Structure 1
Amino acid sequence: MHLVRPPGVYRAADDTSLLADVMRRGGYARGRRVLDLGCGTGALALAAARAGAASVTAVDLSLRSIAATWLNARAHRAPVVVRRGDLFEPVRGQAFDLVLANPPYVPAPTPALPRHRIARCWDAGVDGRQVLDRICAGAVRALTRDGTVLIVQSEVCDESATVARMREAGLRAQVIERSIVPFGPVMRARAALLEGRELLEPGRREEELVVVEARRA
């Protein structure tokens, strides 16, 4: 599927494909109200629409990402509602059956999150969890009674912490999919940093991507 991707917008990669595949195979989107958090090009939003979602809302803080998702939805005739804002803020008071998230999760040199550079698409603080933890804490308020969250992340930012944070928020959570992929450009550039923090075995140049599912307890 061809997607418009302006400069500064995240290119859909292995993590996006893994999450979309889990969603399709599990029938998570069919007939459901879907929220795509941090939509980028809109790849997940469009995948949900194609998988039979009753409605799809896409949210991103980046104006370029919002524009890209809007254009791609129109080009593929997908009925996606696009909202600009910080995570759940643009949909406050609404409830969704499925929340999809492929957030920034790469550990960065500093805790400061970039706002106006392409690195904002992957930098997530020193431990890679600045955005993940906010999603874990806020997702329960955006779910219907039988709603589900699907998050994709790397092993380097600790999937057990995601499961624990979801459980602390009152959700039942577990890892439901794993996939080992070669490093992309960002992870290759951060390899020495990750090794120095003992988040990566010396010389290793592949990572395990995981999909975490969370439901209301």
Structure 2
Amino acid sequence: MLLRIPGVYPPQDDTRLLADALAEQPFDARTRVLDICTGTGALALRVAELGAGTVTAIAISRRAVLTARLNARIRGCTIRVLQGNLTAPVRGEHFDLVISNPPYVPYVPAEDDRIPGIGMARAWDAGTDGRALLDRICAQAPDVLAPGGTLLLAQSALSGVGKTQVMLEEQGLQVDVVARREIPFGPVLTGRRRMLAARGIITAGQRNEEIVVIRGRQHA
């Protein structure tokens, strides 16, 4: 059970899929983990409970930062929770594992890739093609990976899995997909079905999306 302050998005199927993938990772007292776009802190708590030595979580929302800190205190986990924009608060640091479940829902009426500055919508809206944050994470995450480190990134197949793979490979990472799950559309995508179909992002009548976890491994 997680505490959630109003305005903080609750963990969904993509969080659970990424949490399951974390169980396959090795953790010990020397493992340094970074969770980008932490939300309630669910994934940061997961790696702390799996035995990671140091865990850092980042969120841009003050409410999410407070929520993650409270959940860590309730669970008795030592987690450093920072407010900031993606990897900006930890530039110059390096981590053995970087995890992220960022916003990736296409905002169809958008004319550019500006994302909401306030409100719940910034927990899911990610520009015209859903990649406003994914592209930035692909560009920034390798810089904070330690030699031999791993990135685990959750996203919808609607937001271009192939592009994520190519971007990470261009950064020198070895890339593969380690988990997939088909899930029904949630309320946001259900409400945008007609617009998404009109733009060719989904097919007419489509009601499910595939969520994947992409792994990128830094050379040792």
Deviations 1:45-64 (A, max 9, x none): 00011111111000011000
Deviations 1:115-161 (A, max 9, x none): 11100000000000010000000111100001000000001001001
Match of 1:178 in 2: 180
CA distance in 2, matches of 1:206, 1:157: 14
CA distance in 2, matches of 1:6, 1:191: 29
Match of 1:27 in 2: 25
Contact 1:105 1:131 in 2 (8 A): yes
Match of 1:150 among 149, 152, 161: 152
CA distance in 2, matches of 1:28, 1:56: 14
Q: In percent, how many aligned pairs have the same letter?
A: 46
Q: Which runs of 5+ in 1 are unaligned?
A: none
Q: CA deviation at 1:27?
A: 2.2
Aligned residues: CA RMSD? 1.0
CA distance in 2, matches of 1:215, 1:63: 31
Deviations 1:56-109 (A, max 9, x none): 000011000000000000000011111110000111110000000000000002
Which deviates more, 86-95 or 169-178? 169-178
CA distance in 2, matches of 1:9, 1:50: 22
Match of 1:207 in 2: 209
Give the length in aligned residue pairs: 215
Q: CA deviation at 1:29?
A: 4.0
Which deviates more, 88-97 or 170-179? 170-179
Match of 2:58 in 1: 59
Which deviates more, 14-23 or 103-112? 103-112
1:130 aligned counterpart, secondary structure = coil
Q: Give the aligned residue type for 2:48.
A: A
CA distance in 1, matches of 2:215, 2:192: 27
Q: Give the aligned residue type for 1:163.
A: Q
CA distance in 2, matches of 1:41, 1:3: 7
Q: 1:129-140 maps to which residues of 2 (within 5 A)?
A: 129-140=131-142
CA distance in 1, matches of 2:99, 2:198: 32
Q: TM-score, normalised by structure 2?
A: 0.95
Q: CA deviation at 1:28?
A: 4.2
Q: CA deviation at 1:30?
A: 4.1
1:36 aligned counterpart, secondary structure = strand
